[in-house]
Amino acid sequence: MEPAFLLEVSKPEQTMLCGEIMGKLIPRGSVVGLTGDLGAGKTVFAKGLARGLGIEEEPNSPTFVIMNCYEGSVPLFHFDVYRLSGGAEFEDTGYEEFFYGDGISIVEWADKVQDVLPGNAVIIDIQFPPQGDEESRTIKVAGKGKWLLSFRNTAEQALLASKK
């Protein structure tokens, strides 16, 4: 895995913007794992990613159904594994069909199923800062792929512009 990088956001709209930029750049067949505390912004990031894929419907966290599918320029498979006990229970959902297909899979609470995530999954960890306002977040991005460098540069420039 290449070195992780951090993005600092000060409001939910910037978290969504980061997701949207990722959605415009992410290659087909990618898996994104989202981690972070309750209320950190995992679903907000997922909504932005969906927007970047041209999906008009706003995704909701599929906590009770485990997975929702959205159609856009590329299909988005949005998983929420909060209620699962781990990777073994996740295997019962048939996730492989989606992870290794032609769409984009995004998994909220990915740390619960880390043992079944592909080695090339991108991990987005969204954290509340130790000190700061209620809306600030630190987004740590770890993964492989040349497209991540483009994502980093584009997101950093967009965040700078949004602060003006």
- The set of residues, in sequence order, having a beta carbon less than 8 Å from that of 7 and lying 6+ positions away, is 18, 138, 139, 141, 152, 155, 156, 159
Q: Using CA atoms, how far apart are residues 163 and 14, in angstroms rounded to an integer?
A: 9
| pLDDT tens per residue, range 40-98 | 999 999 999 999 999 999 888 766 788 899 998 899 999 999 988 888 888 888 888 89
pTM: 0.92
Q: What is the CATH number of the domain that holds 56?
A: 3.40.50.300
Domain count along the chain: 1
Domain range for 152 is: 5-162
Q: Which of 39, 154, 53 is nearest to 102 (CA)?
A: 53
Measured between alpha carbons, how far is 91 from 127 in angstroms, rounded to an integer? 27
